[in-house]
Structure 1
Amino acid sequence: MTMASPARPAPEELVTVIITTSPTPSAPSTELLEQIAASFRKHCASLIHCRVIVVLDTYDHVSKKPRLKKGHVTPDSAAKYADYKANAKRLILKEYSSTERPYGTGDLVKAQEKAEFGSGAAAYASQDNAVVMNITTTKDGRVTFVEPVQRLGFGLAVRSALRMTVTPYVWIQQHDWALVTDIPLGPLLQIMQQHKAPPSAEQEDKENNEILPEAVRPPVEYVCFPSIRMMEYATSDHVMLYPALRALTQLHKQNFTVQSESEDGTAVTSRVPLTPLFLWHDKPHLASTSHYLNQVFYSRIAIQRGAFIEDTVGHLARDEMKQGKWNRWACWLYYPDEGKHLCLRHLKGRTWRGVEAELAAKLEYMRLNGLDVNVQVPN
């Protein structure tokens, strides 16, 4: 009798979605998050069935002129942000509720944690260097909200969520990027499980008890998805101007092949195109939880409060990759149609004011310039 192979875990059992959000001009509207959820349902439905951690970051200063990347908001934005957080919670609870039992306010359990950070500056010597975070989680652990009392910034927001993650993989999602094409999440997870980073440049093949060079089985620990600026990345100046990066691309760029079964038991072969990526990007990506914590957040001073990963550790990673140490980071870019296929659309969260406000501004511009403002307003 042939033994049936064990069932492969579903993507929602392996992945936690981490969403980071912060003050935006469109608050208290949740239109940005709604567009993300809609893109998940259309292009990668498993992401709506995963565990989710939402970091509702805050601001540092109230000032006349907004500088959202620096944590500066206007008095009007500050007043609206509390409502935005309440609206965002209701939206996420609705989106991630099961059809059998929707989440209610009674499902949330409260706790507190701290996000510590470090600095070599003498000015911080006498400070605790930790931000208190208020945590609320559904009793089944599937939905978690993180609300820091001080601004974390993207880097510490991600690290804080990673430390609460119980799944081996995470999907990192900023609040203003939407999917515009189907993402093969299941096959990507299979590839990542089969190509984990070895402790050295060589890795043991347990089936044949042989040592395989990295060129045969390159590690896959992080997969980013192409935005407009990353189209045809493998032949862009980001790669072609550097001999080491050109060589790594030529060596590793490939179609990975994975086998799976359809619902009726039919064998399915998937080919997933990936090319080496030479920067740890902040835009939506899939990554190993342990690799993230060990490689990016290797110490409490790896990321300062308010900093972005891409602007700090990301450039450290790129410098090491130029020296041939790409396998330490194991970063890849999903690369359908030789990089000509767009996967992400930027929703411009720092400037977009919401559908109604954008339409009002457009009509006012037309009025001031003597243009016909008798246009049909969409419902």
Structure 2
Amino acid sequence: MSQPQSQPSHAHDLLTLIITTSPTPSAPSTELLSAILVSFRKHCPDLTACRVVLVIDTYDHIASAARLKKGHVTADGAQNHEAYKENAKKLILHEFSQDRDGYEDDEDENENENDDDDGHVLLVTEGDAEYGSSAYAQQTNAVPLTITRTKDGRISFIEPLQRLGFGLAVRSALRLTETPYVWIQQHDWSLIYDIPLAPLLTIMQESEAVESESEPDYDYGSESRRRQTVTVPVKYVCFPSVRMLSYATSDHVMQFPALRALTNLYKQNFSNPTAQAGASKIPLTPLFFWHDKPHIASTEHYLSQVFPNRVAMLRGAFIEDTAGHRARTEMKDGQWKKWACWLYYPDEGKQLCVRHLKGRTWRGAEGELEQKFEWMRLNSLAS
């Protein structure tokens, strides 16, 4: 595998962290986001030195009962979300605005310049997130965005006037991204295992050199063939949740001869290019889906594969519900290399790496404790 001509020496030169957040029962508290940041510091500290884009999505309707996946909040929820937006921005500014060599001010004469309460100089611009068909003149199908960023470009906030949904939130952030890779992070998935970010990024860089190589001849119906050492593109790496443990031998793979064959051919321990001799290798197995849970991906690949045009993602839609199923269908038809999705696979798939905190129901530490005591009270009355 050939070495790229020029490699930045740090992960923060290669990757932008994109965090998406939206109304939650725990608002206006930022405990949920704080838990994610704590998990970064513990299990992937390189992330805290990266550029960050926080997309703060909003709601569609105020209703008598909250249905957050549908964009419905209560009147109290709407009020709490307004306070949450300000609290979330303050948290990210505090965590990511530390001075670091190598960044220069990035000014634009068309931007408005404001100072926040803590003295950060923020540049404000406007944008749009277009979606759906534009066939009819009376349909603009675009959500206005307010984009706020620090002068060094290290921190950006995207606030839509209407609800975007996860898919359009990610695409809006990708369009601001200047690094070749992104880490996509929903606000309620925490890391629980160390992630080798720098080695993974180098593997992805090196795989660019073999992107144009043709698929080797392989009889997918014969799984007894001896495994080859092959070079393949690595465009997307997901981190396993509880439902993805032992993925390579799960029904998602084993029930399909073509997917079993691809796993047998490509599953491998990649050399760790950033470590000394004898260091642990990086285990990856082919993944036959594009998940929304925490993952690293090529920025260009994301835009071209998931968002090839404005009709590819509807407002309010999730990526795995749309592009994810399209990707799996094409992979089962022999086009896995087109998507080049992988799963980080420590301990042969037995090691959990991320945990879902269930942001749509989580009410914060205090709220969860109150709910627990209420359940105990009701159980005691029933007994």
In the superposition, the TM-score normalised over structure 2's length comes to: 0.87
Aligned to 1:259: 273
**In structure 2, how many angstroms separate the alpha carbons of the residues matched to 1:317 and 1:361?**
40
Q: For structure 2, which runs of at least 5 residues remain unmatched after alignment? A: 102-115, 217-227
Distance 1:7 1:217, change over 3 A: closer
User: Contact 1:259–1:267 at 8 Å: present in 2 too?
Assistant: no
User: Contact 2:97–2:155 at 8 Å: present in 1 too?
Assistant: no
Aligned-residue offset at 1:332: 0.2
Distance 1:248 1:98, change over 3 A: same
Q: Residue 337 of structure 1: SS of its match in structure 2? A: helix
Aligned-residue offset at 1:268: 6.7
Aligned to 1:57: 57
Give 1:327's match in structure 2, choosing from 337, 344, 367.
Answer: 337
Aligned to 1:155: 167
Q: For structure 1, which runs of at least 5 residues remain unmatched after alignment? A: 204-213, 372-379
Give 1:233's match in structure 2, choosing from 247, 250, 266.
Answer: 247
User: Contact 1:259–1:269 at 8 Å: present in 2 too?
Assistant: no
User: Contact 1:201–1:327 at 8 Å: present in 2 too?
Assistant: no
**In structure 2, how many angstroms separate the alpha carbons of the residues matched to 1:274 and 1:235?**
14
Aligned-residue offset at 1:315: 0.1
Distance 1:267 1:8, change over 3 A: farther
Give 2:349's match in structure 1, choosing from 339, 343, 346.
Answer: 339
String of CA shifts for 1:3-57, please: whole Å, max 9, x gaps.
xx97752001100000000000100010110000000000000101100000000
Task: Give the aligned CA root-mean-square deviation in angstroms.
Answer: 2.1
Percentage of pairs with the same residue: 63
How many residues matched?
A: 350
1:146 aligns with 2:158: yes
Aligned-residue offset at 1:365: 2.2
String of CA shifts for 1:255-290, please: whole Å, max 9, x gaps.
0013335xxxx6574410000000000000000000
Aligned to 1:314: 324
String of CA shifts for 1:219-274, please: whole Å, max 9, x gaps.
1000000000000000000000111111110010000013335xxxx657441000
Give 1:299's match in structure 2, choosing from 301, 305, 309.
Answer: 309
In the superposition, the TM-score normalised over structure 1's length comes to: 0.88
1:369 aligns with 2:379: yes
1:195 aligns with 2:216: no
Give 1:112's match in structure 2, choosing from 98, 108, 126.
Answer: 126
Give 1:233's aligned amino acid. Answer: Y
String of CA shifts for 1:120-168, please: whole Å, max 9, x gaps.
8x8x662111110001100000000000000000000000000000000
Aligned to 1:42: 42
Aligned to 2:222: none
**In structure 2, how many angstroms separate the alpha carbons of the residues matched to 1:91 and 1:69?**
24
**In structure 1, how many angstroms separate the alpha carbons of the residues matched to 2:148 and 2:59?**
20
Q: Residue 148 of structure 2: SS of its match in structure 1? A: strand
Aligned-residue offset at 1:79: 1.1
Structure 1 segments of 4 or more deviating over 3 A? 5-8, 103-106, 266-270
Q: Residue 28 of structure 1: SS of its match in structure 2? A: coil
User: Contact 2:96–2:155 at 8 Å: present in 1 too?
Assistant: yes
- 1:125-144 equivalence runs, <5 A: 126-144=138-156
